[in-house]
Chain A
Amino acid sequence: MIRRIGSRLVQAPLILWAVYTIAFVMVVSVPGNPFEHEGGRNLSPVIEMGLRQRYGMEDNWQFYWRYLTGLLHGDLGQSLHYRDWTCNQIVRHSLPVSAALGSLALLIALFAGVGLGVIGAVRRHTVWDYLTLGVAVVGISVPTFVIGAGLLILLAVWVRLFPPGGWGTPAQLVLPAVTLALPFMAYIARLTRLGMIDVLSSDFLRTARAKGLSESQVVLKHALRVAFLPVLSFLGPAAAAVLTGSFVIEKVFNVPGLGLHFVNGVINRDQMLILAAVTVYAGLIVLFNLLVDIAYTWLDPRISAEAI
């Protein structure tokens, strides 16, 4: 286990560097001048020269190395479109927002999904089972912006139960988090259900029941622990998907998260912000995968027995 985690730790910076390079190549291939305005006066070439000199962007190679050395110092650069803000400040303001949204969504998905899956597996071929399947199917197939739009209309426009978007109060957290959670909840419910169905007829559970443990203890304490493993496996790619799925949610509910800034950065050709966002996202995903690896070894005793 130590060896595996160690190897992952060594590979992480290399992965990030590869991601940065790929992103850089694409960012400078995108046509469009980051300094040109979208409206009003044209940019005069003298002014452009001054700006490029100032940000070290006269030449692509120079820009690459400068930005990379900046990254190693933790400096994500300066936004070229919102000139009053450094990318560090932007990330510091918006990453907590995205992280809060994402983690709340994952939590809801985890608990609701596992709960639904367990109920569906334990009460097979009953109403609960079909409910689980229904939720699973709807959550996977219906796009999040449809669900988000629907919730927005129902609960924020017609009924006025929640505010129609924005960020800052707890009430504004609810709708976006629930919308983001739904596809993951669906998938987790499905995985849990499959896993539980498999496990419920195992020998060791038969032993536990024979020993006299109550059904809920059997299910929750013993069976769930094993059935949870595929779900844990799924959490790694789920984190990546949550980050990216939040782009759409942020647009629908006007949440000022990093996804929204990335999309706007691409539209505005704000090269430094794009690079900053890509690096931050990749770093988070690598980190999260590592955490999932660690959690996995802790949860499944078979691994430490089998792996050297």
Chain B
Amino acid sequence: MTRTATTPALYDVAHEARRWPAFRRNSLAVASLVFLAAIVAACVLAAAWSIPASNDQHLDDARTPPTWLQPLGTDKLGRPLWARCLLGGLISLGVGLAAATISVIIGTGWGALAGLAGGRVDAIMMRLVDILYGLPYILLVILIKFAFERRLEGVFGAAAANVIILFLAIGAVSWLTMARVVRGQVLSLKAQPFVEAARAAGVSGAGIFWRHLLPNLIGPILVYATLTVPQAMLQESFLSFLGIGIHPPLPSWGNLAADGLEAINNVQSAWWLIVFPCTLLSATLLSLNFIGDGLRDAFDPSQSGYSDTRPDGRRNRLRACRLRARRAKVIRECYRYHHRPDSLGIGCA
């Protein structure tokens, strides 16, 4: 399916100047950023202590509730929960970040290539993305993990291979939205005058990409990367909960939640084993989602729903009109090319 017209511009370069102040105004996003930074700092800085402590078994002290000595209590083997939570956080966040990074790299590469190449190549590449979108991704993650974990074990050792294959597998199936967004943006940027000027001046294709396109892509990439991290973390926690993600004795928040779930029964209740890991996991995911939303608002106010509100709370009719018109245009363009708009309203599904 060839395309001659461009898909609508998603992110206007002129908005750039307003991004950081716009983000700062969103107090929820800023608070989440602070919280996330605190958690990441705690996990990383405490690694020197949490790694040895997380495997320190004292069977006599198994399942003790939180005390001054053991602020979060101990688990069924007497290991301190604070160390397991911190190390688990490091691993979960690490997997989430690494998976998001991989998906950014693959997605950007794919999308940019498709957008720059145009024509047939573009159509085929995007059709593949469409196909992959319809696949049950968790099945693929599980299969990839099982198929390749053994081979990595020989190289990295069992524990490292476990973590590596997990973020490789999750990253390998999470790049689809990124590819679409990047492609849309590249297509619209490609038609801008400054790119034409660069081409006329003799800049090579790669040069155009690195020097002209990429700086303008950073916005949407950042937004979607921030939204991919919680998705990846959720997937990892699902897999660990099912027992096929991070293997014990390595902790991860999903693992700890699974262990904690068994701790709730009418015989021997150990509420701290499920409350702390679940709270940490949920709070981190929440803050990541808020930050992602804040970034998206800052980069493209048409998504937020708050954009037509003035600081004093009254409605800015003119801006509301403009935003509606822009969104309607996006939708119309999608239909023109036999697609339906995706749920985010920024492009075609």
Contact = CB atoms under 8 A, between A and B. Distances in A.
Interface stretch (B189-197, B218-226, B235-243): B235-243
B341 A230 contact: yes
Interface string B311-341: 0010101001001100100011001101011
Contacts of B264: 149, 152-153, 157
A308 to B, nearest CB: 8
Contacts of A245: 238
A205 to B, nearest CB: 12
B147 A30 contact: yes
A244 B135 CA distance: 10
Interface stretch (B81-89, B101-109, B206-214, B278-286): B278-286
Interface residues of B, number: 62
A282 to B, nearest CB: 6
A230 B238 contact: no
Interface string B234-259: 10011001111000000000100110
Contacts of B338: 4, 307
A88 interface: no
A243 B138 CA distance: 10
A155 interface: no
Nearest to A187: B343
Contact of A266 (B133, B142, B290, B305): B142
A286 B343 CA distance: 18
B143 A251 contact: no
A236 interface: yes
Contacts of B320: 201
Contacts of A231: 343
B120 interface: no
Residue in A143, A194, A285 with the greatest tally of chain B CB atoms within 10 Å: A143
A277 B138 CA distance: 12
A224 interface: no
Given A4-B338, A157-B266, A266-B146, A149 B261 contact: yes
B150 interface: yes
A211 interface: no
A106 to B, nearest CB: 14
A221 interface: no
Contact of A233 (B254, B305, B340): B340
Given A31-B150, A143-B238, A201-B324, 7 more contacts: A30-B143, A143-B278, A240-B134, A247-B238, A266-B142, A267-B244, A306-B335
